[in-house]
Structure formats: structure tokens, C-alpha cells
Amino acid sequence: MNTAPIRKNLAAMTVKPNLLEYEKTCAGFSWKKVRRELTGLPDGTGLNIAHEAVDRHADGQLRERVAIRCLGRDGRFVNLTYGRLKDRSNRFANLLRRLGIAKGERVFCLAGRIPALYPVFFGTLKNISVFCPLFSAFGPEPIFQRLEKGNARVLVTTERQYRKKIAPLLERLPELKHVLLIDLEYDLNERVLSLPRLMADASGVFTIPPTDPEDMAILHFTSGTTGMPKGAVHVHNAVNTHFITGRYVLDLHPDDIFWCTADPGWVTGTSYGIITPLLHGVTSIVDEMDFDAERWYRILQEQRVTVWYTAPTAIRMLMRAPLEQRKRYDISALRLVHSVGEPLNPEAVFWGEQVLGLPIHDNWWQTETGGIMIANYAAMDIRPGSMGRPLPGIEAAIVTRVDADTVQIEGNEIAGELALKSGWPSMFRSYLHDDARYAKCFAGEWYITGDLAKRDSDGYYWFIGRADDIIKTAGHMVGPFEVESCLMEHPAVAEAGVIGKPEPVIGEIVKAFIVLKQGYIPGEELRLDLIGFGRTKLGSAIAPKELEFIDNLPKTRSGKIMRRLLKARELGLPEGDTSTLEGGESP
Ligand code: ATP
Ligand code: MG
């Protein structure tokens, strides 16, 4: 696998990166210092995400600056300035209060990336209620499960979603006090109310009540890649991590135009699609539509996007699109590209360099960590295939669990569980209603992530696989990512998903599912060619012994390959929870 480093040339950078001296910054880092850069609520009454992201800018020089530009499906867009966002979120906070929704009570939102979502998000936080996002494409059952498990008191959604999915559920949700409809001008009944009417009646003046940094702010369900989604609880204090990752990882500067392509249905869409860019007072682009190569290149060009945060699946889809398409657009404003959510194949990093003119910076984190924990930084050389180095302030290690309370810390180049020393501000505070599962994530002071990785002698971390996906074959431990990345180097391969298939003699055999690039036709010759390619590159112990062509890999709505589903289907086993599987219901 080609993992030759990509060197950074600081002199050629038009914008000086925020994090220039990694070691020195790590050595001098303290979360207390980060906290001092946030303003906190007036009169020292605490820390509230909405104040840091919106109000402090709206009350200052950035009042008229566009905070969020929502691009609609019809080519029109809505600008939410910091001032307008303050007014709208104040109204939402006031109306929650009038409806009797208290601190800590859950406000769910089932909507696409539309302008109404953002005042709901910040207004909920201002009332110290708890925001919980849902993917708009979820079907009724996943919606019901989450509303019930999360003790929803309010659901904000559209009339269409309501009629199609929610109305039949209401009887089963006695705790749900109100449904607020974004696009209905009149109330349906006492329980189902018009949001525009309530907003018009509400005052635009609101004083955020004293907020303890440990007050619950957001409830986020995990992606469900490995099983039933868990409800991770986050608190207002997380804003410290959001702020510092915005500076050090995303490298935000005041004039940036930032675009995070993630949906708020998963954590990247809230932490980085909503909160972080606003903390830094920049303009954030939100696109209502889903991936489309042409549209995305046009957005990069027309919006003059400077910093872009996307995911490996989207990048692999762009890699499949014809090069001529890319060449029709001027994306010269772009200076930094980041990726998260899945391992980023080295091939994709190089593709970025060649086709976008910029290498792609991978970073790693989870719903549970609340913010980016390991990253490739603007000023630091990239080792393609590596997730990068820990965020200043984060202590990471490769460990082996010894017992419930103890780990053994491994040295460089040894595979083990990726662990983080507890105590960073955005760490999840619980899995809702599942204390036992939460407790199992920890061994003493270490949070065990459930991912396997290695660290090299320069401190770069390399993802091996999720603990659940690791393949044990003839005495070897094989991470699917390594095999998938190798196969992606073959010119015919667009995407690969690799699993272990039980086999009595050697434990498991490696099986690959391949999606071909446009213009390639599946056939026996190509299959044998790919098996041979794998064997030459990886050696016969690790190379796939079975290989099958497939039109699409099963993915979560956040774009992660669901290897457990490939495996269940291969073995004829039950598929388990498929609520986050892409391609089911639509809004
Ligand atoms: P569930 O926990 O419900 O199975 P999930 O783990 O996919 O779902 P998320 O919290 O959205 O839910 O995803 C975090 C996981 O995504 C990480 O634990 C890791 O396995 C994977 N991941 C995220 N970023 C990267 C990355 N840069 N490289 C490799 N893997 C990544
Ligand atoms: Mg997980």
C-alpha cells in the first residue's frame, strides 16, 4: 500500500495554520485556558453552547454576518445572520417555556437540513432543554424507538412527516406533550401545534437561565453500525472541545466559508455542522440536498468554500465521477479538506491531492467523544492511511484490557484497543438508561473506544478496524480496512467491503465485496484478476480468498459500511437492527 508521506509547504500556504508547533502546544495545553477564551454567560452564571455560538456574536460586531446559509433544493438560499439566529432562537426558547417544557426535557427534531432547524437547536439549548436530532429519512419504527427511549416531550417536524409517520404513533407516546409543525400556519389540535404561529407570538427577547456546564445539552444516538444505536448524553461543557478543534483541526479563521456535509442526524452534523463554525464566527454552508457530484462541485465554486469537512463515502463517490466534471468547476477558494466517519483509504488522500489540488485530512472520533480526538493538522505532514495524532489536551493510548478496571498500555507498532484518558470536556456522560453499558466502556481512568489501532514511533495512529469487524484467519488478525484499501488501488474498484466468513480449518476466510467503477463489467476474468492483485499486494495469508461483485455496499445513513450486514446476509443470519440502513424510507 502506498503510504508515502505528503509533505506540507508552509511557505506556500495563503493562510497561516493555527496550530504550528504541535509538541509545544501539547506541552502547554490546559482546558482551563480554553475555557477562558469562551465568554460564559453574563454575570458568571455558567456556560451555555447557544450563548457561545450565537448570542455573543449577535451582541457584537458580527451581528449582520451570515452564520448559516441554507441552500435549498430549488437553487434559492436563506441567510441566517447571527442577529437573526439570536432572535429566532430566543423565540423558540420562549415558546418552549410557555408550553411548560423544562430544563432537561427532551426536544426532538425530525427534519432535513432546513432553515427552521437551527433556531430550534439553539432555542432548545437556551431553555436548557435537551436537543435530540433524528434523520429525516427514518421510518416510523426507528422514530418511535428513539422518541420513547429518549422520553421525548416535544417533537418538531414537518406536516408531511407528521401525517406519514408520526400521527399513527401518538397514542403509543403518552410522554410526548406536543408536536410542532414547521410548515403549518394553524394548530391541528391541542397537542399538534403550528410552529410559525407560536414563533410569531413569542418574544424575541430571552435571558438564558444560569447553566451549569454539566447540564445536559444534546442526546445523540450512535450510527448503529455495529448494532442497536445507543443514546449518548452530552453536556454544555462540550463546547470547549468544539471550540478548540475548530481552531486546531478545522483551522478556522475569521473569513472562512466552511461547509460540513454531514446531516445533524448524526453527531458530525451537530458538533461541526452547527456548533463549531459559529463558535468561530465564520459562515457555515448547509445544503438541503443529498450527495450529487455536480451539485457539490458547484457549491464549492459558487459559495467560495475555503474549508470543507466531509466523509470517505462521499469522497469515494467523487472519485467515481468523471474527471471532466471536476474540471468544469473553479474550486480555487478551497484550502483545506477534512474527512471523518470511516477509515480514509490512502488512495483517497492521493486522489484529493491530484484532483482537488489538496490532500484530504482524515480525523477520528465517535458520537461518544463529542468532538474530534485524533487528527491530521493543516501544518503537519500527512501519512496517508493514518488518522493523525491526538488533539492537544487528549491523551490517547493503545491498550489491552486486563480486567474490568485495568489496562496494559502497549508500545509502538503493537495492535490493541484505542483508548482515551477520561476527562475531556465533550466526553459523553452516560448512555441514556443504560448505565451498565456505559460502565463497560471504561477501565479505570481509560475510556475504551471499541476500535483497534496501532501507533507508530512518531505518534501517528493507524486504524485497524472495529473490534467487532476484525477477522481471524489462520492465526492472523486482519483488519478489513487494510484489505479494502489495497483493493481500492486496483483501477476497476470503486469501493470494497471485507468480512470474515467462518471456516472450520483456518477460523475465518477473508471475503471481499466489490463495487466497480463506471465502465467496468463484472466477470470471472476480472474476479480472478482482483484476487491475484490482492495476493500480490497483501500476501496469500491476508488476501481475500473469495470475492463477489455487488452493486452497492450496505451503509448507514451517515455513510458507513455495515460489514455486520454483509456478514449476516452472507451467512443467512438475521440482520439485526437496520434502523439506520440507508435507502429505506424517505422523507
Ligand atoms: P455504533 O456505535 O452504533 O455501532 P458507530 O460507531 O458507527 O455506530 P459513530 O459514533 O457515528 O457510530 O461512529 C464512530 C465510529 O466510526 C468510530 O468508532 C470508528 O469505528 C469510525 N470512525 C470514525 N472516524 C474514523 C476514522 N477517521 N477512521 C476510522 N474509523 C473511523
Ligand atoms: Mg460506536
Decide whether any atom of ligand 1 lies within 6 Å of the 94 Cβ: no
* Mean pLDDT across 132-136: 95
**228 falls in which pLDDT band (50, 70, 90)?**
confident
**504 falls in which pLDDT band (50, 70, 90)?**
confident
**CA of 230, closest atom in ligand 1:** 3
Nearest CA to ligand 1 atom 16: 341
Q: What is the pLDDT of residue 585?
A: 53
Instruction: Give the whole-angstrom CA distance, residue 548 versus residue 493.
Output: 12
Q: Name the maximum alpha-carbon separation found in the chain.
A: 73
Q: pLDDT by residue (tens digit) across 5-32?
A: 999 999 999 999 999 999 999 999 999 9
Q: What is the pLDDT of residue 541?
A: 84
Q: pLDDT by residue (tens digit) across 406-456?
A: 999 999 999 999 999 999 999 999 999 999 999 999 999 999 999 999 999
How many angstroms does the Cα of residue 232 sit away from the middle of ligand 2? Answer: 10
Decide whether any atom of ligand 1 lies within 6 Å of the 225 Cβ: yes
How many angstroms does the Cα of residue 274 sit away from the middle of ligand 2? Answer: 21
Decide whether any atom of ligand 1 lies within 6 Å of the 340 Cβ: yes
Cell numbers describing residue 504: 472450520
> Which bin fits 457, alpha (ψ -120 to 50), beta or left (φ > 0)?
alpha
How many angstroms does the Cα of residue 109 sit away from the middle of ligand 2? Answer: 22
Q: What angle do CA 531, 535, 538 make, to 5 degrees?
A: 125
How many angstroms does the Cα of residue 429 sit away from the middle of ligand 1? Answer: 18
String of DSSP letters for 57-103: HHTTTTTTSEEEEEEPTTS-EEEEEHHHHHHHHHHHHHHHHHTTPPT
Task: Please name which ligand lies nearest the alpha carbon of 558.
Answer: 1
Decide whether any atom of ligand 1 lies within 6 Å of the 448 Cβ: no
Which H or E element spans position 275? none
Q: What is the pLDDT of residue 486?
A: 93
> Hey, CA dihedral for 207, 211, 215, 219, is it positive or negative?
positive
* Mean pLDDT across 189-213: 98
Decide whether any atom of ligand 1 lies within 6 Å of the 364 Cβ: yes
Summary mean pLDDT of the chain? 95
Q: pLDDT by residue (tens digit) across 86-119?
A: 999 999 999 999 999 999 999 999 999 999 999 9
Q: How many CA atoms lie within 13 A of 94 on its CB side?
A: 16
Q: pLDDT by residue (tens digit) across 510-549?
A: 999 999 998 999 999 999 999 999 999 998 888 999 999 9
**CA of 481, closest atom in ligand 1:** 29
Q: What is the pLDDT of residue 324?
A: 93
Q: What is the pLDDT of residue 549?
A: 97
* Mean pLDDT across 39-64: 97
Q: What is the pLDDT of residue 1?
A: 62
**506 falls in which pLDDT band (50, 70, 90)?**
confident
**584 falls in which pLDDT band (50, 70, 90)?**
low
Side chain identity, residue 573: L
Q: What is the pLDDT of residue 287?
A: 98
* Mean pLDDT across 294-316: 97
**CA of 449, closest atom in ligand 1:** 18
Q: pLDDT by residue (tens digit) across 361-386?
A: 999 999 999 999 999 999 999 999 99
DSSP state of 262: -
Task: Please name which ligand lies nearest the alpha carbon of 560.
Answer: 1
Nearest CA to ligand 1 atom 23: 341
Instruction: Give the whole-angstrom CA distance, residue 146 versus residue 579.
Output: 10
Name the nearest CA neighbour of 95 among 70, 118, 123, 67: 123
* Mean pLDDT across 186-205: 98
Q: pLDDT by residue (tens digit) across 171-181?
A: 999 999 999 99
> Hey, CA dihedral for 513, 517, 520, 521, is it positive or negative?
positive
Percent of the chain with pLDDT over 90: 89
**CA of 229, closest atom in ligand 1:** 3
b/e per residue 476-503 (b: at least 16 CB within 10 A)? eebbbbbbbbbbbebebbbbbbbbbbee
Decide whether any atom of ligand 1 lies within 6 Å of the 469 Cβ: no
Q: Which of 312-321, 474-483, 487-496, 560-569 has the lowest mean pLDDT?
A: 474-483
- Asked whether the predicted pLDDT for residue 583 surpasses 90, the reply is no
Pocket perturbation via mutation, ligand 1, pick of 363, 389, 560, 578 by most ligand atoms within 8 A of CB: 560
Domains of the chain: 10-24+31-455 (3.40.50.12780), 468-553 (3.30.300.30)
